[in-house]
Every structure is written in structure tokens, then in C-alpha cells.
Structure 1
Amino acid sequence: MRRIAQNSWGSFSGYTPIAAYLGNEGWCLGLELRPGKQHTMKESNAFLEQVLPRAYQMTQAPLLVREDSGFDSQAHLALLEQQRQACAEDGRVLDYLVKWNPRRSAKDDQDTWLAVAADYWEALRPGKRQALWTQTVSIRDDHQVEYVVKRVMRLVERTADHDGQLLIEPEYELEGWWTRLDEAPQAVIQRYQAHATHEQFHSEIKTDLDLERLPSGKFATNDLILHLAQLAYNILRLMGQLGMTGELSPVRHPAKRRRLRTVLQELVHRAALVIHKARQIILDFGQDIGRMTVLKTLRRRFRYPKAAPC
């Protein structure tokens, strides 16, 4: 199953970019700049409709759209249901996993949640227990079309901390996840926990590509720079996957994915000497045979995609 993670992150100068990544490798399907005062949900439906066709072109595997609580709205869930039905008509599989935003219900309806969880409690350690259950909720879109969706709920009660110190009053933590996955509640929660990996892709763009602070005071200029950053990000990701995860990798330890910084340091930032000799200009990279072998292999694979993997 290939995962599409849709996120937004805060930045300097009042900008809030939104990004979508595909798979554990983190291919960037979309990266757009938005004003900092713009809410996460605004225009996110249009953004999702743009990136889903790109994902369909890249893989035939079942897709899982995974989003944080900033995308919890009835209109967005209705759109995911519509996309899911459209994929089913085309013979594709699309599921979604969206973190539930409890808003005020976690505190205002605490007694109600405790009553529902009474039949599901299980002890995790002395002083801590949790309840997992699944419920169905009806939602409506803008055209009053009704959809029945599933929500996985988890309520955690703590009467003592991890050191055994008793608490004066019990502490409760309520979480939920909207989903269409036909899996056990614990398996659904574990799938969402992998969402933290996609936060690393944000970090690579902000730190490795040095875009934590956008350079211009003009919104259009920064938006163009961010789109160019998406192109550079995917090129470096492709170089890392094709040239730095196999036997020819100059990095000793194995890995399923290389950071952009590693790709830049090992393959891009290479010292060379320009030699003028015999009416020729020679670019001499020295005796670094390993890295030059990787670069030659990448050049061959980019020219001939069916070449043997490195």
C-alpha cells in the first residue's frame, strides 16, 4: 500500500506551505505556498484533487491518504468518500486515515466518553489503562448527501505516572481517527503513527534545501522558489534512491532512503580541478572512483531507464 501524506507547516514571514508526499520514500506530489493567516482546510480540497491524479500515474498499488487533525472537516471527509467511490468504479483502491479533532467534546462530554469506554478497558501498566473501540458517524457534504464513515476511538486513563507516583485526579486523553480501513483499531493507530516519518520530509526541505526562511518579500517570487524546491527535492530523492541504496552506494551503512543532505554531500558537493591542456578543458575529480561510478551509473539509468539497478 502506498501512502499519501498531506501536511502543512508553519514558516517565517507569515507563510504556511502545504505539501503532499507519496510512499515511504517521500516523493513530493505537491508543494504550494499559502499566506500564514490562511486556515489549513482552506483550498485543501482543491489541492487534494490535484495530487491524487499524480499518485495514480506513479503507482497502481492501493492508496492510503493520511492527514493530520488540521484536515478534519465534514466537507473534506465527504470529498475523500467521493474520491474513494470514484476509484472503486475505476478498479482502484483508495482509503483514508484522518486524525480526529476533538475540539471541545473531549472535556464537555467526558462522562459520556467514559460510559462508552466502560466495556473496552484494558490495563497497559499499573496506573494506566486504555479503551479502544470503533463507531460509525453520519456526515453530509455541501449538497446534503449523507455518508457513513468509521471513527476509531482511544481513551487513555492515567492514575499514576510512569514512575509510579499517584496522581491526585485521573488524567484522560481522548483521540480518534477517521478511516475506511477494514482493520483492528490498534492496527489503524499504528498506521497513523507512521505519519511522523513524513514530518522528516518537511525538515529536509526546510534545512537541507535551506528554505526555512523564504528569501523574497514578494509572495509570487517565494511561490516560484518553492515550486523549484519541489523539483530539486524530487531529483535529489531520485538520485538517492537509484544511486545510494544499493551496492554502489559510497555510504557504508545500508538504508532504505537517504536524506537530501547525504545526497548533496556525497554526490553533488564534489571538489574538482579545471585543467587546460592540449587545447582541451578537463574537469578532474581526482581518484574518487566510488562516487564517480555512482554518477556514471545514474547518468546511464536516467538515459536508459531499463538499465540494471545499482
Structure 2
Amino acid sequence: MPRFEVKQSSNLELTSHAGLGLIGQCFEAAQVEAVLDSRFPVSQGMKTSDIAKSMTALLCLGKSDFEAIEPFRNDRFFKKALNLSKVPGSVWLRQRLDAIAGGVREYTDELSLRLLERTGAPITADGAYVCLDIDTFVMDNSGTKKEEVSRTYQGVDGYTPIAAYLGNEGWNIGLELRPGKQHSAAETHFFMERVYGKLERLLAADRHVLLRKDSGFDSAKLLFQCEDERERLTPLGRRLDFVIKWNPRKQDKAAWVARAEQADAFKVARPGKRCALLSQQLERAHGKERRTLRLVVSVTERSIDKKGQHLIEPEVEIEGWWTSLDAAPEEIIRLYRRHGTHEQFHSEIKTDLDMERLPSGKFDSNDAIMHLAMFAYNCLRLLGQLGLTGEISPVRHPAKRRRLRTVLQEIMNRAAKYVEHARRLVLDFGRTAKMHADIFCALQARLSRLGAA
């Protein structure tokens, strides 16, 4: 095996995170300084925008702990790429985030909206519908004494944040931290109020939105809120529909079998198994208010299991979906099944952004970091959609979107030589990375043009 001579130059500057140059362009397009510094002014010391940029940049590299900032304190490229007046230390980063955590969350959401608006981010539909997927997920923080860590529905100690994803790309337009023990439906109407306002900014009036939720959100209060929003948008020329999984709770399965038989809806799928699809108009009540809603129900009865074993008593399985659509039951079920794609987006937040175990012991600070993670997620998603799909993409299998991990590998963690000379900033990718250099140039040209607009 050959042996290599190791040399450390005193003049040569290399960076293994050349993609930060594009993240800086995303910050400019989102107008981070204009949004944050006017609301959180400081008389001396580091600007609030520098704190937010530094933390978001770490998240864009898949680093969530405060100590990860230390190697960048003397990194000239990190400072220049993000247009920072100064790079904070880990202690200062933690303390400043603790101080502004309570008020900064609303404005970090504004950063994501401006990024998507001003860059013309593609929001594609699933057929005729732009889908809006809402769900909670579990973040395991067991073995810690952080505020509001408690038992989750998955049986671990941690948090259960709620997230909203828009379009086939999975743009994150809502991400809020919650205590682990909080039920999915609790306080969700407040979250939905904030999400509904964002839809009007991001989508043209002629885009048909389909809201999808799982059975954890099956409550009359949330269903009535969806109906109220539909009625509010109709005079504005907008359309919102929903498909929400039914929670059968203590339903009498035998009664549903009887309803299917009475409607002559059963079809034999195989010997010993028959299935039925029903469309029912049922009344729901919340307080003194009552409304009639459509419920699509799937009833499956098995007298012989899949191995051919005859059962003493038939097994009955019922599933249902509340919906405002007039489509056939088969179409309602097909539309809801694609709701499962959002599980990948949860995974990207927890693993690719390293957000599984949050860095602070304070709940408000962790919530603020979650909102910054939403901004980082959208920055990386934007780079992936603009640079890693289509004609300029590196040779890979065709895809509608790229996972954040792919963006980290192909764009963010790309090595380059950094040079400052004659008022010029140069990134030299070397002769073996022509395709990645072309991607960088194309993305920088588009983002810088939008950021200057």
C-alpha cells in the first residue's frame, strides 16, 4: 500500500461544506435580516439574525447541538457565506436563543414563507389536488430531564411535535413542539388556524387543496373547523376539501356487517373473505352544534384466514374516512393511502437534520430550534428540487424529489478550495467535480437574482 505524506498549509483554505454558499443565498432570498433584526434589535453585541443564521446553518449540515458551532468560529468561509458580522460561540448561541425563544418562533415561520414565495418554489399537485398532510410524530428524548419530556403514544419518553407538509415535494409550512403526553387533537385547531393563513399566501386561488389527517384528529371540533374554513374560502373563489381517518372507538362491528348486508354491498374477495364499501351520512355534535358529514366505511369479514384455516367466529375489520368530497369510495381510499408519504418527511427531520434529541433543556428554546429546523428543511428541500432533479441533476435514478440526506451528500458536503482575492470570492471544486460545479453555479444564479429582487 502506498504511504501518503501529510502536509498542512498555512495559506491554503479548504472547506468541506461548500453548499453553505447556497444556504447564504437562501437566507438572502428569505430576507432574514429584515425580518428578525427590526423585531429583535440589540444595542450592542451580535445581531439576532446572526444567531438565527448560525443555528440554521448548523441544522443544514445535519448538526443540532450548540457545540457544533465551535469549529466554525475561525472559519472565514462560514462567516462570508452566511454574511455574518460575527460567528457566535456555543455558550453565546445557547444564551441568546434562550433569551429570544418566546418571541422568535412566529418570525422564523415568516422566513419559510418568504423563501417559498420569493423563489417560486414548485408546489405540485397529486392529480387535481394540492395535498396538505397534518400529523404528529415522536421524538425520543428518554434518559433526559428536559422540560415537558413525558410518555408518548409510542411508549418512550420524549416529545410529540406536529407538522404540516404541502404538495408532493413535502414543503414544511408548520412545525411546532409539543409535550410528549399531549394528545394529537389537543390544541390542533390553533395550529390549523395558522396553517390556513399560510395556504392563501403560497397557493393561487384556483388550486384545489385536499387536507389529510389520521384518526388521531377525529374530533367533531376539528371536523367543524374544516367545514367552517371551506365555507369561508368559497366566496373567495378558493376550494378546500378534507379526508380524515375515522376512529371507530367502540363501534358495534356486527351492526356494520348488518348495514353492509342490508345495502347488498358485500363482494367476495376470495373464499372465506368478503368486503363492502359504504357511504353514510352521519351526524356529529360539538357543544350545541350538530352537523351531518359524509363517512366512507370499509367492512371486511373473514371466516377463513389467509392460510386456509376456518375460524370459529368471523373476524370483522372496519375502517372509515370522513370526507367532504363527492368522489367514489374507492377514490377516497386511494387519496388517503398516499397520506403515508409524510412519514418519510418526519424521518428526514429526525435523522437527516439530527433533530431526534433536542439540544436544550428548556422547552421554549427547543421549540424555537424546531421552527428554525423548519426553515432549514425548506432550504435543503429547495436546493434538492432545483438542483438535483431535471437536466442538471447528477446521474441518479429519476425522482420527483430528493431526500435531504441526498442534498447533504451532493451539495452541502461538497469540498472546495476557498480563495479571497481582489475583492473576489472563489470556490474551486477541482477538475473532477464539473457537474457539481455546474449545479452550484445554476442554483447561485437563480437564488442571487431572487434575493436581490
TM-score (norm 2): 0.64
Equivalent in the alignment of 2:255: 112
Report how far residue 167 of structure 1 moved.
Answer: 3.0
Say if 1:244 and 1:251, in contact at 8 Å, map to a contact too. no
Q: SS in structure 2 opposite 1:239?
A: helix
Q: Are 1:78 and 2:224 an aligned pair?
A: yes
> In the alignment, which of 137, 146, 149 is matched to residue 290 of structure 2?
146
Report how far residue 45 of structure 1 moved.
Answer: 0.4
Q: Superposed, which structure 2 residues align to 1:184-203 within 5 Å?
A: 184-203=328-347
Q: C-alpha distance in 2, partners of 1:279/1:64?
A: 50
Unmatched 5+ stretches in structure 1: 306-310
Say if 2:135 and 2:213, in contact at 8 Å, map to a contact too. yes
CA pair 274-111 structure 1, distance change in 2 beyond 3 A: closer
Say if 1:272 and 1:285, in contact at 8 Å, map to a contact too. yes
Say if 2:253 and 2:317, in contact at 8 Å, map to a contact too. no
Match for 1:7: what amino acid?
Answer: D
Q: C-alpha distance in 2, partners of 1:278/1:298?
A: 24
Report how far residue 163 of structure 1 moved.
Answer: 3.4
Q: Superposed, which structure 2 residues align to 1:288-303 within 5 Å?
A: 288-303=433-448
CA pair 275-88 structure 1, distance change in 2 beyond 3 A: closer
Question: Which has the larger share of strand?
Answer: 1
Match for 1:230: what amino acid?
Answer: M
CA pair 290-148 structure 1, distance change in 2 beyond 3 A: same
Q: Superposed, which structure 2 residues align to 1:5-154 within 5 Å?
A: 5-13=133-141, 14-60=158-204, 61-105=207-251, 109-118=252-261, 119-142=264-287, 144-154=288-298
Report how far residue 168 of structure 1 moved.
Answer: 3.3
Q: Are 1:224 and 2:376 an aligned pair?
A: no
Q: SS in structure 2 opposite 1:37?
A: coil
Match for 1:70: what amino acid?
Answer: G
Q: C-alpha distance in 1, partners of 2:425/2:138?
A: 47
Match for 1:101: what amino acid?
Answer: N
Q: C-alpha distance in 1, partners of 2:348/2:193?
A: 25
Equivalent in the alignment of 2:28: none
Cα deviations by residue, 1:254-309 (Å, 9 ceiling, x for unpaired): 1111100001100110122346889987542212110111111111112335xxxx
Percent of aligned pairs sharing the same letter = 51
TM-score (norm 1): 0.92
CA pair 280-175 structure 1, distance change in 2 beyond 3 A: closer
Say if 1:12 and 1:214, in contact at 8 Å, map to a contact too. no
CA pair 218-165 structure 1, distance change in 2 beyond 3 A: same
Match for 2:240: what amino acid?
Answer: L
Q: SS in structure 1 opposite 2:312?
A: strand
Q: Matched residue pairs, number?
A: 301
Report how far residue 195 of structure 1 moved.
Answer: 0.7
Q: C-alpha distance in 1, partners of 2:199/2:341?
A: 19
CA pair 124-289 structure 1, distance change in 2 beyond 3 A: same
Segment drifting more, 265-274 vs 42-51: 265-274
Q: C-alpha distance in 2, partners of 1:284/1:261?
A: 23
Q: C-alpha distance in 2, partners of 1:44/1:211?
A: 22
Segment drifting more, 244-253 vs 74-83: 244-253
- How big is the alpha-carbon RMSD for the aligned residues of Structure 1 and Structure 2? 1.8
Say if 2:253 and 2:318, in contact at 8 Å, map to a contact too. no
Q: SS in structure 2 opposite 1:194?
A: helix
CA pair 211-245 structure 1, distance change in 2 beyond 3 A: same
Match for 1:110: what amino acid?
Answer: K
Equivalent in the alignment of 1:180: 324
CA pair 139-252 structure 1, distance change in 2 beyond 3 A: same
- Name the structure, 1 or 2, with higher relative contact order (CA <8 Å, separation 6+): 2
CA pair 225-164 structure 1, distance change in 2 beyond 3 A: same
Q: SS in structure 2 opposite 1:255?
A: coil
Say if 1:81 and 1:147, in contact at 8 Å, map to a contact too. no
Match for 2:253: what amino acid?
Answer: Q
Q: SS in structure 2 opposite 1:95?
A: strand
Equivalent in the alignment of 1:210: 354
Q: C-alpha distance in 1, partners of 2:422/2:367?
A: 47
Match for 1:298: what amino acid?
Answer: L
CA pair 151-277 structure 1, distance change in 2 beyond 3 A: closer
CA pair 266-117 structure 1, distance change in 2 beyond 3 A: same
Report how far residue 111 of structure 1 moved.
Answer: 2.2
Segment drifting more, 85-94 vs 158-167: 158-167
Q: C-alpha distance in 2, partners of 1:53/1:173?
A: 38
Equivalent in the alignment of 1:308: none
Q: C-alpha distance in 1, partners of 2:423/2:406?
A: 36
